[in-house]
Structure formats: structure tokens, C-alpha cells
Amino acid sequence: MIFPDKTYYPREIKKGFLRFCQQYAFNHLVVADVNQLEISEGEAFISLMEDDLVTLIEKVITSQLKVGKQVGVISYNETPLKKIILDGITTISTDFQEMGTIAANMILENSRAHVEVPFKLTMRKSV
């Protein structure tokens, strides 16, 4: 997982990733700088930031490995472009519509609760 030192993403994402990898016995690594990555066949990468995704894709292309066949790429937060890039990038995305509904209800109810918003996995050819 590429998790920059300076990011607006909550640290719980990294904690959840580490817990998942330990629970399912996945070899894993968290790196802060995508430029320090070595790309090898059989690996999968999760990129949170859009700029890191671009750099990661450039590195994969330079390595001459095929995304979705030899290397996996997963990106955070769905965008229309991710449906097209490399025949589709798999995404893990917050349900923004649900987030808006929850936020509106919290405002109407004058609530300051911490609420988990569901995530959605959209599988594409990149894994």
C-alpha cells in the first residue's frame, strides 16, 4: 500500500490494511513514497492518492509488466477516468451518496456521532 506521510486520508485505512493482511497471511508493505517502489511480477499495489497512481502506472509500464496479468493495481475512490485507464482500474470507494445522506441526517438530528460509511469494491481488469 502506498500511504504517504502527508495525506488527508485517515490513519485507520492503514491500520485496517495491516489487520487484513495479518488476518489472511498476506505478505505486505506500506510505503510512503511511490518512487521508492520496486515493481515485481506477482505483486499488487493499492494507491490512495491520484498523483501516486499516475507514478505507479508509469513505473509498471516502464517495467514492461502487464497490469491485471503480472501486476495488480487498486485505487481509492471511484472516478470516471478509472473505468477507462488500462481497460479499467479496480477501485475501493466510499459510497459518496450514502455519505451525503448520513451527513444530511446528522445535520437534521443535530448529531455529532462518528459513523462508518460503507465502502464499495469495483472489480476491473487491473487485478
Rounded to the nearest 5°, which phi and psi values hold at 28? -150, 165
**pLDDT-based confidence at 8, cuts 50/70/90?**
confident
CATH number for the domain including 32?
A: 3.40.50
Q: Which domain holds residue 59?
A: 11-122
C-alpha cell at 98: 450514502
Residue 6 lies in a domain: no
- Cα–Cα distance measured from residue 101 to residue 116, given in angstroms and rounded to the nearest whole number: 13
Closest CA to 78 of 55, 94, 66: 94
Count structural domains, the chain: 1
Q: Structure pTM? A: 0.86
67, part of any domain: yes
With cut-offs at 50, 70 and 90, classify the pLDDT of residue 96. Answer: confident
Q: What is the largest CA-CA distance in the chain?
A: 54
CA 46 centroid distance within chain: 5
